[in-house]
Amino acid sequence: MIKTKYIYFYNYDVNESDLCKLESKHLFDQEVKNKLLFSDIIINPSCSAFIKKRLDVLASDSQYSVLINKIKKLNICDEGFKAEYTFLERDSTGYRESLKILKDIGYCIEGNPDYYKPNIIYTICFYNNCWYFGILIKNNFDWHKHKQKPFSYSSSINITIAKSLVNIDAEGNKDTQLLDACCGVGTIMLEACFSGYTIEGCDINWKLCHQARKNLSHFNYKASVLVSDIKDIRKCYDTAIIDLPYNLFSHADENLVFHIIKSTAKVTNRLVVVSTIDISEHINNSGLQVTDFCVVQKGRKTNFSRKIWLCEKK
Ligand SMILES: C[S@@+](CC[C@H](N)C(=O)[O-])C[C@H]1O[C@@H](n2cnc3c(N)ncnc32)[C@H](O)[C@@H]1O
Predicted confidence (pLDDT) per residue in 145-156, tens digit: 999 999 998 878
**Atom 18 in ligand 1: residue holding the nearest Cα:** 229
Helices 187-194 & 159-170 angle (0-180, nearest 10): 60
pLDDT of residue 297: 87
In a domain, residue 1? The reply is: no
Are residues 23 and 168 part of one domain?
Answer: no
Residue 38 has phi, psi (to 5 degrees) of -105, 125
What was the pLDDT predicted at 253? 87
Question: What CATH number did the domain enclosing 20 receive?
Answer: 3.30.2130.30
10 and 77 in a common domain: yes
| pLDDT higher than threshold 80 for residue 20 | yes
Structural domain of 14: 6-138
256 CA to centre of ligand 1 in angstroms: 11
Residue 91 CA to ligand 1 center (angstroms) comes to 48
Same domain, 152 and 295: yes
Residue 182 alpha carbon to ligand 1 centre in Å? 4
Q: From the CA of 242, how far away is ligand 1's center (Å)?
A: 8
Range of lowest pLDDT (52-66, 82-96, 272-286, 287-301): 287-301
151-183 pLDDT, tens digit per residue, is: 998 878 999 999 999 999 999 999 999 999 999
> What is the per-residue pLDDT for 2?
78
**Is the per-residue pLDDT at 278 higher than 80?**
yes
pLDDT of residue 300: 65
126: which strand partners? 131
pLDDT at 254 over 80: yes
CA of 51 to the centre of ligand 1 (A): 29
85 sits in the region (left: phi over 0; alpha: psi -120 to 50; else beta) called beta
pLDDT at 234 over 80: yes
Residue 110 has a pLDDT of 97
pLDDT of residue 6: 98
What's the pLDDT at 304?
A: 78
Domain total of the chain? 2
Return the ligand 1 atom nearest residue 180 CA. 6
Residue 299: pLDDT over 90: no
Q: What is the pTM of this model?
A: 0.95
Q: Quickly state the pLDDT bin for 249 (edges 50, 70, 90).
A: low
Decide: 203 in ligand 1 pocket, CB within 6 A: yes
Question: Helix, strand, or coil here: 77?
Answer: strand
Tell me, in angstroms, the distance from the centre of ligand 1 to residue 245's CA. 6
Between 68-82, 237-251, 274-288, the lowest mean confidence (pLDDT) is in: 237-251
Q: What are phi and psi of 80, to 5 degrees?
A: 75, 40
The confidence score (pLDDT) of residue 68 equals 98
Question: In what side-by-side order are the strands of the sheet with 239-243?
Answer: 225-227, 198-203, 177-180, 239-243, 270-275, 305-313, 288-297
**Pocket-testing residue among 203, 254, 282, ligand 1, by greatest number of atoms within 8 A of Cβ:** 203
Q: Looking at residue 251, what is its pLDDT?
A: 62
Residue-level pLDDT at 154: 82
Q: Which of 182, 231, 260 is the pocket-test mutation for ligand 1 (most atoms within 8 Å of CB)?
A: 182
Is the same domain home to 242 and 169?
yes
Is 226 touching ligand 1 by the criterion CB < 6 Å? no
User: Would you state the pLDDT for residue 250?
Assistant: 61
| Pair (65, 130) in one structural domain | yes
DSSP 245: -
Whether 245 is covered by a domain: the verdict is yes
Q: Note the pLDDT of residue 298.
A: 78
Beta bridge partners of 38: 7
**pLDDT for 24 beyond 70:** yes
Residue 198 has what pLDDT?
Answer: 98
Among protein residues, the one whose CA lies closest to atom 22 of ligand 1: 203
| Smallest CA separation from ligand 1 atom 17, residue | 204
Mean pLDDT of 13-42: 96
Question: Helix or strand or coil: residue 231?
Answer: helix
Residue 301 has pLDDT above 90, yes or no: no
The mean predicted confidence, pLDDT, of the chain is 95
DSSP 143: G
- Residue 243 Cβ inside 6 Å of ligand 1? The answer reads yes
| Model pLDDT, residue 302 | 66
Residue that is last in its domain, among 115, 138, 161 = 138
SS3 193: helix
Q: What is the CATH number of the domain that holds 223?
A: 3.40.50.150
Q: Are residue 282 and residue 230 in the same domain, yes or no? A: yes
In a domain, 150, yes or no: yes
- pLDDT at position 190 over 70: yes
- Same domain flag for 131 and 156: no
Among protein residues, the one with the nearest Cα to ligand 1's atom 4 is: 184
Burial of 186 (0-12, 13-18, 19+ CB in 10 A): buried
Q: Domain ends where: 112, 138, 164? A: 138
Mean pLDDT over 116-141 rounds to: 97
Do 131 and 77 have their domain in common?
yes
**Can you tell me the mean pLDDT for 255-264?**
96
Please indicate whether residue 282 or residue 248 has the higher confidence score (pLDDT). Answer: 282
Q: Is residue 107 part of a domain?
A: yes
